[in-house]
Structure 1
Amino acid sequence: MTTPNRPPAGIPMELPDDLTPFYSNVVRISHTPTDFVLDFVQVLPAQLRNLIRSRIVMSPVGAKLFLRAFAENLARYEASFGEIQIPQGDPGLAGDLFRRIHPNEPPPQGE
């Protein structure tokens, strides 16, 4: 039985000098039969247009391998720094600000 070709561990990578880091607090994930598409956005309060700043397209196999690697890294992070808490219940002011993604949506009562 042959094993599939795998890229060598520790693939050399170079960070371009002109690469600007980008913070994203929203990702939209969609797919076709042959690709997964991850659109990364930074949503800020009172911002009317939320532009996609980065789009990553992956094969289904690549997406599943990414999911596995990401889950392993989250587990290592939590082992070192403690469990990441996901807020429950009333989202508070930040939740009210970020809940309205569509600019034409009416504001909540009291604004």
Structure 2
Amino acid sequence: MEQPEDLNQINIELSEEIAEGIFSNLAIITHSNTEFVVDFIRIMPGIPKAKVKSRIILTPEHAKRLTAAMIDNVERYEAENGRIKTHDEPTAFPMNFGGPAAQA
């Protein structure tokens, strides 16, 4: 018996709230033998406390697939837009982002 084509497709729903996205300028990745945890964090200038804005938990297989997909996308981006410049980050993340200190 032949299966209809739509059984091989996934219908993905994207709500308006999720479509807006979450800005993150720091990611912390940890792992155990069964999962990878990626915490996306937003650090704001002059504010010493940062909050995790989103946490994604992946199986090791999906973490490896995500890594490959990210590498592929970065390579395609650079082919179209030029090399992405990266800077070696100091051991301690600068709270003032190199700008003036916050004042109240």
Q: TM-score range by the shorter chain?
A: 0.7 to 0.9
In the other structure, the counterpart of 1:28 is 28
In the other structure, the counterpart of 2:49 is 49
> AA paired with 1:27?
A
Give 1:16 shift: 0.6
- Normalising by structure 2, we get a TM-score of 0.72
- Which digits, 9 at most, give the CA deviation of each residue in 1:27-58, with x for residues without a partner? 00000110000000000111132110100000
Give the 3 Å change call, closer, same or farther, for CA 88–50 of structure 1 in structure 2: closer
In the other structure, the counterpart of 2:81 is 81
Q: Could you say what the CA RMSD is over the residues aligned between the two structures, in angstroms?
A: 2.6
Q: Which has the higher contact order (CA 8 A, sep 6+)?
A: 2
Give 1:13 shift: 2.0
Where does 1:32-111 land on structure 2 (aligned, <5 Å)?
Answer: 32-87=32-87, 95=94, 97-98=96-97
In the other structure, the counterpart of 1:14 is 13
- Normalising by structure 1, we get a TM-score of 0.68
Runs of 4+ aligned residues of structure 1 deviating over 3 Å after TM superposition are none
- Identity across matched positions, percent: 33
Q: Return the alpha-carbon distance in structure 2 between the equivalents of residues 57 and 65 of structure 1.
A: 13
> AA paired with 1:45?
P
For structure 2, the residue ranges without an aligned partner over 5 or more in a row are 1-7, 99-104
Give 1:11 shift: 4.3
Q: Return the alpha-carbon distance in structure 1 between the equivalents of residues 88 and 51 of structure 2.
A: 28
For structure 1, the residue ranges without an aligned partner over 5 or more in a row are 1-7, 100-111
